[in-house]
Structure 1
Amino acid sequence: MAVPIRTTVAALCAGLMATLFTTVPAQAGQREHVWAVSEAAHAPRARISLDDTTGKLSLSVSRDGRTVLEPSPVGIVTEQADLSQGLRFLHRKDRQVNERYRTTSGKRLDRKVRMQETRLSFAGADGARVDLVVRASADGVAYRYVLPAGHGDVLGEASAFNLPADAGAWLSTYRVDNEGQFAQYTAATAPTGAYSEQALFSTPGGYALLAESDLTGSYSGAQLAHTQGTGSYRIQLADQRVHTDGALATTWRAMVTGDLATVTRSTFTDDLAPSAKVADRSWIKPGTVLWTWLAGGKEAGQSLAAQKAYVDYAAERGWPYEAVDAGWYYKPGEWDITDPDWQTNSWMPELVEYARAKGVGIVVWIHQRDLDTPEERAQWLPTLERWGVKGVKIDFMNSEAQSMLQWYDIILPETAAHHLMVDFHGSTIPKGIQRTWPQVMTLEGVGGEEKRTNTAAHLTTLPFTRNVIGSMDFTPGAFQRVGLRPNSDAAEVGLTVAYESGLQMFAGTPASYDERPLARAYFDQVPAAWDDTRLLAGAPGQEAVVARRSGNRWFIGGVYAGAARTAEVPVNLGPGRWLVQTIQDGAEGLVQDSRVLRNGDTLSADIVANGGFAALACPWRPGVTTCYR
């Protein structure tokens, strides 16, 4: 009887997996145990090794036999035990993680997860226990420590990432608000110091982006400590002592890896995070936002008349939200919150009702210090919900210490309970939070449009670093900031697509949009949630061309650093012919061009120095002359 091909392939795959997940037995003279974890033959392969002499663990990552991560120390130290050495192997357990989930925002709404998980259990010299849980998928490797109750507070990790010394490195100096600029080095030549964990490296086995996932108040945030001359980047926790009560599963130490297109498209850090804790998500609606801070500053925030004018403009354009930033609950020199009649005296309910009648939702800024006690949250959150406010932009957390992460653990369910979407500023970066708490539409954690020192190289690095981790509130579109931003007008249009954000805040003034009707018309089309994302061309620090699909239309954003050039971008959007309408910089301002291209053709675009372009593509057939609706 003939054996079906499908059965044969399945048997071969099962045999391959059995080979990959076999523990190398200890033999005479052998001084280590070795375990390998991989999801498929050509996927990243994690190799965990226990030195039987020292009892130290290390982990390395390769792809198709080529190094991604060199053997790197693994271990954790608690009050009760040093679990970074003196370990002996107890047992292992394997399972496959298969999940499907849907997000409310992000680079791809529908997600499919397939990971291989290996759990290795060890005992320390004094009998203390620790489990090392390792997961591997097609686009990443991650591990975490699991400790039983009674281990005491965590004093630190031995965890480090050892990269090849000559690996290309794109690093951001660590700041508590995660707003440092990215600069390029090699792994060894980067100056001694602390760096954000969202660090990108180019290795013989592909690109590798370091990250975290499932970071909560049970643990502490991390930064990378580096000494110049080595390729080692050590995990340094924000707290010298992480307080624990009972069993503990630490954050995932993650590495997104593959070619640049794979890294850019990856949802690995979301995939590692717990499932959504919000059952009814019908009220969570991503969208574009007219943001008034760079357009009018605090003075606009103190004026009901000014805010109504912004609402009128958003309604005219069909933009679904308007954001009222700092100033709306200020009195000159003091906080309105000190006034017992502040809720009665506020003009916000009038603005919300005015906006609602015009089909515009209101998002309001609020300082974290006004939400840091139960009494303040009980005062603010129900009131904002009663007024009809759609979302809150919470600012100035400026910490990844355990105490602040515990505050996040409180504010997240409370904002969900009051049907308030959230934009965190002065914050941590997403780290899986958007899967677990889908009302979190975006987070800052980036050197964004407000900065006066950004470089074009920084702008072209963000799609491969910070924005890989999750939604990024860069606030593009500030055309009025000529001389304060490093890019061209066409590049500024392109940023609205190159950078993903569930609430995409347009930072320009109405006058600046009216002076650029092509940009304004493009903004009218841009959605804030996507069905798919593809990298069409890219090199960190040099260029990034990202295509995002909504329905049957592809939006394309290209940003460049360096001299003027003619860009040649492959149109890999799907079979058939495509009508592609581009916006580029011209001698007299923005210009538009339309052409019909077959899939696989090259799109040429004239790029000015530190410039870019935007495009909208839709399926072409006879009679189709525009992709705009």
Structure 2
Amino acid sequence: MKYTLLIAFIFISSQVFAQEVAQVASPDGLVKVSLVIEDGKLFYSVNYDQKTMLDKSPLGLETNAGSFIDQLSFVKTKTGKVDQSYNQDRIKKSDIQYKANTLTYTIKNEADQEISVHFQISDNDIAFRYELPMWKETKGIVVEKEITGFRFPTSSTAFLSNMMRPMTGFARTAPSYESGYVTDEPIDKTNARLGYVFPGLFKVGNDGWVLLSETGVGSNYTAAHLSGIQDGVYTVSYPQMEQNNGFGSTGAQLGLPSHTPWRTITLGSSLKPIVETTISYDVVEPLYEASQDYKYGKGTWSWIIWQDNSMNYEDQIKYIDMAAAMDFEYILIDAWWDERIGYDRMEELIQYANSKGVDVFLWYNSNGTANDAFQTPLNKMNTSIARKKEMKWLQKAGVKGLKVDFFGGDKQETLRLYEDILSDANEYGLMIIFHGATLPRGWERMYPNFVGSEAVLASEMLVFVQDTREKEAFYATLHPFIRNSVASMEFGGIILNKYLNRGNQRGQERLTTDIFQLATGVLFQNPVQMFGLTPNNLTDVPAFELEFLRKLPTTWDETIHIDGYPGKYSVIARRSGSNWYIAGVNAEADAKTLKLNLPMLKGKKISLYNDDKKREPSMKTIEAGKNGEVTVTIQSRGGFVLTDH
């Protein structure tokens, strides 16, 4: 039976002991969720293909007007179905069909207050949230905590990135969501005191994979993370009080009736559904209409390699000229532009860029209160009056987008700031990239002018930290399975200098190959990509690399998992229109030869970008086998790209 609902009543001795069990399955019947109340507490469990993925895990929340953790009793269930299709132009896939079976399980506490847990079960994906009706005369509440938990089989291992300690690091800007990862770590060792960011990936023995995350978080709630494991369970945890300089509640303020964000679980016997999931977008809706058609594309960015000293008129001219030479759509002008170039000359610079067919993104500091970040422009984005005044000038000057940096954490107070910036920017025709920011949680669909967030140990740390350079390939193999699986990721990559500085002769040596860098342009998905090229690359790298970048899309119509293992190697295929790009990178110590089955390329002549044994870049034309078989060798810290474009 593909869709089941069961309510069971169990009688023991002469005393009635009721267990209200409900079960719901995915349309293909492989995913099954069971709910039960035992001893007044609510639990759920998850099976995939008759194998346990999550054992009896707790559900419930605590509010300042009522508790739903224990002494609970069953009220009713309701079932249904969802069948919808939508188009999305800024994620891993453009045309999505979402089908799910639903179960709403309603409970009440001792005070007869009711809440429901609403589940939507699609093939390989589970989304659930708490739904809160009106309680008598109660209208406004604060959700103080959840006990929503995830109990994996004890043989499971974890791939997790830890939460950063608030108000530490550069100018007390942490958490900036730029931690490394533990990989294949036995779950009983994943007990970090501050917990772990979403998403988190888990390998359930030999039975399959599970990805945990959340979506649909805007000004309506706080963003959450995973606790460290306690008594075998990870729980949904709210922000630490120290975030946002100690200002604001750690809980969520709601007006009833209302609901929490969605908790999402993606699962399967392989990594394929993890890479290809769209659940972050399937269960959310746009919050407003786009004020115009936004244009996506590639850009140049001086700060990443040439750093603060490049923030002058003359250097920005060089980067505009490079963008024009590369047929890129944008230039990003970073911190200090207001002081070192000025508003009047910036208008001149924008006019010059436009004369070259290049549009402009400008950098802003998000606030003046949540941390000690001092870069300017400062105090332009954190209040409505200042923000709208600035955005009016930005629109008049012809700016197309902003990169807003240095946010204060995951409290609802900060989530409101994200949403206010996005909503106001749309009114002035501005796209938004967030930096030093939290994970986007369905934002590509919720906010039509949102075009990416960092929320990752990104390219700037390659410049600053030797350990990050040494682990660049390692981290790159993780992102398609974890961070970039649930949201766009503005990494700021494709660095072709041999040394990550302006001189490009000594210092911070890049340890990955040129082809590795090109491959990440396919592996890392974001609709607006600001690349780390420098003007000297126009003459000091092979012409075929530059031509590849000129043609490289930044939006995709389809994404397919091909091969890989997080932390070792990754191969994925993406389609833009009728053109396919298959890219892979290798983090292992030795070269890796793969026999790939690529039916989308069968019988075609294709371009292979690859490294030779000396790690030198090459490009040649090959022909895929009649069934699409292609054999490639990926050098250590190297990569490859196959394309029919």
TM-score using structure 2 length: 0.87
The structure-2 alpha-carbon separation of the partners of 1:23 and 1:275, relative to structure 1 and needing over 3 Å to count, comes to farther
Q: Which residue of 1 aligns with 2:113?
A: 128
**TM alignment of 1:206-355, pairs within 5 A:** 206-227=208-229, 231-238=232-239, 239-258=249-268, 259-275=270-286, 277-282=288-293, 284-301=294-311, 303-331=312-340, 343=343, 346-355=344-353
Structure 1 residue 205: Cα displacement: 4.2
The structure-2 alpha-carbon separation of the partners of 1:538 and 1:513, relative to structure 1 and needing over 3 Å to count, comes to farther
Identity of aligned residues (%): 25
2:361 counterpart of 1:366: no
The structure-2 alpha-carbon separation of the partners of 1:486 and 1:145, relative to structure 1 and needing over 3 Å to count, comes to farther
Q: Which residue of 2 aligns with 1:161?
A: 150
3-state SS of paired residue (1:468): helix
How far apart, in 2, do the equivalents of 1:449 and 1:513 lie?
Answer: 20
Q: Which residue of 2 aligns with 1:511?
A: 536
Tell me, which stretches of 5 or more residues in structure 2 are unaligned?
Answer: 165-174, 240-248, 368-379, 500-507
How far apart, in 2, do the equivalents of 1:291 and 1:38 lie?
Answer: 48
Q: Which residue of 1 aligns with 2:189?
A: 189
2:505 counterpart of 1:478: no
Q: Which residue of 1 aligns with 2:372?
A: none
3-state SS of paired residue (2:489): coil
1:275-320 CA distance string (max 9 Å, x none): 35225552x121111122113222222x122212211111111111
Structure 1 residue 569: Cα displacement: 4.0
- Matching residue's letter, 1:88: S
- Matching residue's letter, 1:527: P
- Matching residue's letter, 1:133: H
3-state SS of paired residue (1:605): strand
Q: Which residue of 1 aligns with 2:607?
A: 581
**TM alignment of 1:609-628, pairs within 5 A:** 609-616=636-643, 618=644, 627=645
3-state SS of paired residue (2:21): strand
- Matching residue's letter, 1:84: I
How far apart, in 2, do the equivalents of 1:276 and 1:527 lie?
Answer: 27
Structure 1 residue 398: Cα displacement: 3.5
Moved more, 496-505 or 581-590: 581-590
How far apart, in 2, do the equivalents of 1:274 and 1:43 lie?
Answer: 27
Structure 1 residue 59: Cα displacement: 1.3
Q: Which residue of 2 aligns with 1:47?
A: 34
**TM alignment of 1:56-75, pairs within 5 A:** 56-75=41-60
Q: Which residue of 2 aligns with 1:409?
A: 419
The structure-2 alpha-carbon separation of the partners of 1:378 and 1:490, relative to structure 1 and needing over 3 Å to count, comes to same
How far apart, in 1, do the equivalents of 2:488 and 2:571 lie?
Answer: 17
Q: 1:142 aligns with which of 118, 123, 127?
A: 127
Q: Which residue of 2 aligns with 1:596?
A: 623
Structure 1 residue 568: Cα displacement: 1.0
How far apart, in 1, do the equivalents of 2:440 and 2:509 lie?
Answer: 27
Structure 1 residue 39: Cα displacement: 2.4
Q: 1:539 aligns with which of 546, 550, 565?
A: 565
* Contact 1:43/1:138 (<8 A) preserved: yes
* Contact 2:286/2:448 (<8 A) preserved: no
* Contact 1:139/1:268 (<8 A) preserved: no
How far apart, in 1, do the equivalents of 2:101 and 2:581 lie?
Answer: 34
The structure-2 alpha-carbon separation of the partners of 1:474 and 1:231, relative to structure 1 and needing over 3 Å to count, comes to farther
3-state SS of paired residue (1:478): coil
The structure-2 alpha-carbon separation of the partners of 1:320 and 1:167, relative to structure 1 and needing over 3 Å to count, comes to same
Moved more, 454-463 or 522-531: 454-463
Q: Which residue of 2 aligns with 1:563?
A: 589
TM-score using structure 1 length: 0.89
Structure 1 residue 487: Cα displacement: 2.5
1:465-496 CA distance string (max 9 Å, x none): 00011110111111226455553222111100
1:581-601 CA distance string (max 9 Å, x none): 122223373111221013644
3-state SS of paired residue (2:589): coil
Moved more, 100-109 or 27-36: 27-36
- Matching residue's letter, 2:536: A
3-state SS of paired residue (1:558): strand
- Matching residue's letter, 1:160: G
Number of residue pairs matched? 586
3-state SS of paired residue (1:450): helix
Structure 1 residue 423: Cα displacement: 0.7
RMSD: 2.0
* Contact 2:599/2:629 (<8 A) preserved: no
How far apart, in 2, do the equivalents of 1:481 and 1:541 lie?
Answer: 24
Structure 1 residue 513: Cα displacement: 4.9
How far apart, in 2, do the equivalents of 1:280 and 1:567 lie?
Answer: 49
1:175-202 CA distance string (max 9 Å, x none): 3222111221122222433111211001
Tell me, which stretches of 5 or more residues in structure 1 are unaligned?
Answer: 1-14, 337-341, 619-626
3-state SS of paired residue (1:510): coil
* Contact 2:250/2:411 (<8 A) preserved: no
How far apart, in 2, do the equivalents of 1:311 and 1:391 lie?
Answer: 16
* Contact 1:490/1:612 (<8 A) preserved: yes
1:347-400 CA distance string (max 9 Å, x none): 221122111122111111111112011121122111111111111111111311
How far apart, in 1, do the equivalents of 2:11 and 2:539 lie?
Answer: 75
* Contact 1:49/1:58 (<8 A) preserved: yes
